[in-house]
Structure 1
Amino acid sequence: MAERTILVAGTYDTKSEELGYIVEVIRAQGGDVVSMDVSVLGDPPGRVDVGKHAVAAAGGSSIAEAVARGDENSAMQIMARGAAAVALDLYRSGRIHGVIVLGGTMGTDLALDLCAALPVGVPKYVVSTVAFSPLLPPDRLAPDIQMILWAGGLYGLNPVCRASLSQAAGAVLGAARAVEAPVSGRPLIGMTSFGKTVLRYMVTLKPALEARGFDLAVFHATGMGGRAFDALAAQGAFAAVMDFAPQEVSNHLFGGLSAGADRMTGAGRAGVPQIVAPGCYDLVDFVGWQGVPRRLEGRPTHAHNRLLSSAMLDAGERREVARAICAKMAGVRGSVAFVLPSQGCNEWDRPGAELHDAEGLAAFCDEMRAACPANVALHEIDAHINDATFCDTVLRLFDGWLADGTLTRV
């Protein structure tokens, strides 16, 4: 294997000692480095490969303009845009195989943009004084970002921060050496789901799709999983998607574990054929150990474990979810089929189960029939989403697309 090259980014005017240490560790382990300075006011004490003027220019501006603004926030946003553009160009040209960014709150803010610009599968490490902090909005986190706390390193090198920096340097180089790109010789289907206790279709569909010559990647739709799914769909990584757990749309509407406002749009932007179903549409997930959010108080809930709980939506809220899902599907590029299981959309939604609401389910189905856009083929089935009929319907649609050329095995 050719040696891996890591982009090492940060403010080299104020953190050259720490960044230089990361560079030394990577090179001592046999890796190579491209250094990038994202400073604004000062200059690095030594040479860097990508200077701040080049970064600002890539952000559509200049260091002079950044300084003239007189505001460190807006100045750093110029550098963030430029750093993201430079990093993506370096990756596409094959000059880097991973990235590590060092910073406090300013550097971390920039790091989030830089990492989000790189495709899923590119190792992305951020060494930050605010790693895993509630300061970091989930919708700005790259789906596969890795963070390490910059412990004891706010100013200058010491034994504590060397431990953090050396771990991060070794981790990103090791990841760049070991990573397998998310591609294969077989076309890939992307699917969303939850665990088998609530949604079970993947157990049947995975071997069936593999027998047809496809690989299947199943994404856990609890926020970051949906972000990864949509990001890969937008990149054209999937031959088709089976978006059967769009619950993150409900979460975004009602304050749960959101995957962002763009959830359910990646495949449509790329023209990827979609089969969609409403698995768990009727639930809003929230952090179990924080208690029930005020907006969701007084309604049936299910504690899945100590981390995750779900609250049930009422009939009116389910109609709102139906309209939101239909709006996501309206006018997209590519074929779209929606499978509507009129007997329930998760295992807790059956007669006698703890979260069954026949009135709410009927309201959702009624709204889906009324709001389904003209470009979407609606297939209503008199079955539950976990019944064999659901999988039979999905495979019939899939085989139809194979037969008419909507899907190919190439």
Structure 2
Amino acid sequence: MTDKTILIAGTYDTKDDELLYLADVIRGQGGGVLTMDVSVLGDPSRPTDISKHAVAEAGGSSIQAAIDSGDENVAMQIMARGAAAKALELYRAGRIDGVIVLGGTMGTDLALDLCAALPLGVPKYVVSTVSFSPLLPPERIPADVQMILWAGGLYGLNSICKASLSQAAGAVLGAARSVEPPKRDRPLIGMTSFGKTVLRYMVALKPALEARGFEVAVFHATGMGGRAFESLAAEGAFAAVMDFAPQEVANHLFGGLSAGEDRMTAAGRAGIPQLVAPGCYDLVDFVGWQPAPAPLAGRPTHAHNRLLTSAVLELEERRQVARAICGKLAGATAPVALMLPRGGCNEWDRPGADLHDAEGLAAFCDEITAQVPEAVELHALDAHINDAEFCAAVLAVFDRWVAEGIVRA
């Protein structure tokens, strides 16, 4: 008997040996295997558990249609849709406990869709010739995916690529055996923030919310954290969100570390109550070891470390961010409270601090006030976002929403 079953997906017409090797390693460690063929033109050396025809049908098409398209990109997108649908179907049926996908650029493109279809907590491993490459946009990388470079393995098995393949096989089976999935035994609050040097509200809010019977997950809003936050919001995982660090909106507008165009929209679409504040609205994060993006050249900056640097937005750009935030909140289908701390929105913009800009802050606050959607509660606070008064105001709104049944306790 086997304890955990791993789905192995790949193009079995061209990578049969490598995929069979993965299966042998997993079985050799006592795991179970289900195989999925996502190839189009050729056939595997032996039948797979999920055939390429079943995958194409799950994608709303057929292998013949993929062939007739005459376009490998179109064909692979058909297979990607089908592979994602089949993987989710298998997981929901309790037939798989994790997944490993093998590929070059084509297979990796498909792998990202397949892994994104599975919930957070399901072990996902991608063995790819382009792991960690800038070819992979952050908005397409699932929140908890693991990747390893498929070194020296583009065509055929050898001792170099076996080192990567065997690690991946052991890792995904080990993860499936040891993972502790989210319990969901308490209502969950999703919160965005940064480290305590710049935003500190989570230090007070997390224990206060936990004392009220809620679980709190704080997401580091530097691109991938925002993606994870949006993904869980889209699933309806949160009882409420406290999106107090929407800096990724500005990042997307001005070429920084984007979490995607849909940042700050999933909770609203899913009908999740939102408390929102503009923490670090005035900063755009970029890769610290690269030159600043062209639109940000010549700005004052703050270097967090050798990886991450933030540039300061100018006055009109701050107004643009205010309009973008208000535009995203306009689509919400559940109550929204916008907390506006007029005393400042990050530790570095306090009076006397390096990035203080009273005129820019006033312009942003005025634009928010002018553009805020009618259905959004606006709470203008004579406080800084890191002051105790901010947390008190947040908890006052939250407690009222719990009492009114807006947030389910």
The answer to whether the superposition gives a TM-score over 0.5 is yes
CA contact (8 A) 1:58 1:85 kept: yes
2:39 matched to which residue of 1? 39
- SS of the aligned residue for 1:60 comes to coil
CA contact (8 A) 2:191 2:243 kept: yes
Aligned residues: 409
2:184 matched to which residue of 1? 184
1:381 matched to which residue of 2? 381
2: distance between equivalents of 1:225 and 1:370? 30
* Gapped regions of structure 2 (runs ≥ 5): none
**Length-normalised TM-score, structure 1:** 0.98
CA contact (8 A) 1:254 1:284 kept: yes
> How big is the shift at 1:41?
0.6
2: distance between equivalents of 1:122 and 1:2? 18
For 1:346, the aligned partner's letter is N
1: distance between equivalents of 2:385 and 2:142? 31
For 1:352, the aligned partner's letter is G
- SS of the aligned residue for 2:3 comes to coil
1: distance between equivalents of 2:48 and 2:156? 19
- SS of the aligned residue for 1:271 comes to coil
CA contact (8 A) 1:331 1:375 kept: no
2:219 matched to which residue of 1? 219
2: distance between equivalents of 1:47 and 1:124? 23
1: distance between equivalents of 2:67 and 2:407? 52
Matches within 5 A, 1:151-170: 151-170=151-170
2: distance between equivalents of 1:276 and 1:135? 32
192-201 or 116-125: which moved more? 116-125
2:334 matched to which residue of 1? 334
2:149 matched to which residue of 1? 149
1:112 matched to which residue of 2? 112
The runs of at least 4 aligned residues of structure 1 exceeding 3 Å deviation read: none
**Length-normalised TM-score, structure 2:** 0.98
For 2:64, the aligned partner's letter is A
> How big is the shift at 1:153?
0.7
- SS of the aligned residue for 1:348 comes to helix
For 1:115, the aligned partner's letter is C
For 1:240, the aligned partner's letter is A
For 1:283, the aligned partner's letter is L
For 1:227, the aligned partner's letter is R
2: distance between equivalents of 1:320 and 1:183? 40
For 2:252, the aligned partner's letter is H
Corresponding position: 1:372 with 2:387: no
2: distance between equivalents of 1:301 and 1:277? 22
1:391 matched to which residue of 2? 391
> How big is the shift at 1:184?
3.3
1: distance between equivalents of 2:403 and 2:83? 46
1:161-220 per-residue CA deviation (whole Å, 9 max, x = no partner) reads 111001000111111111111233211111000000000000001111111111110000
CA contact (8 A) 2:2 2:31 kept: no
1:352 matched to which residue of 2? 352
CA contact (8 A) 2:125 2:172 kept: yes
- SS of the aligned residue for 1:135 comes to coil
- SS of the aligned residue for 2:340 comes to strand
Assess, with a 3 A threshold, how the Cα gap between structure 1 residues 374 and 210 changes in structure 2: closer, same or farther: same
2: distance between equivalents of 1:121 and 1:135? 25
- SS of the aligned residue for 2:217 comes to strand
2: distance between equivalents of 1:330 and 1:182? 31
* Gapped regions of structure 1 (runs ≥ 5): none
> How big is the shift at 1:390?
0.2
Corresponding position: 1:12 with 2:5: no
2: distance between equivalents of 1:80 and 1:183? 30
1: distance between equivalents of 2:158 and 2:197? 49
- SS of the aligned residue for 1:289 comes to coil
1:293 matched to which residue of 2? 293
Corresponding position: 1:94 with 2:65: no
> How big is the shift at 1:13?
1.0
2: distance between equivalents of 1:111 and 1:63? 19
- SS of the aligned residue for 2:35 comes to strand
- SS of the aligned residue for 2:43 comes to coil
2: distance between equivalents of 1:113 and 1:254? 27
2: distance between equivalents of 1:176 and 1:83? 20
RMSD of aligned Cα (Å): 1.1
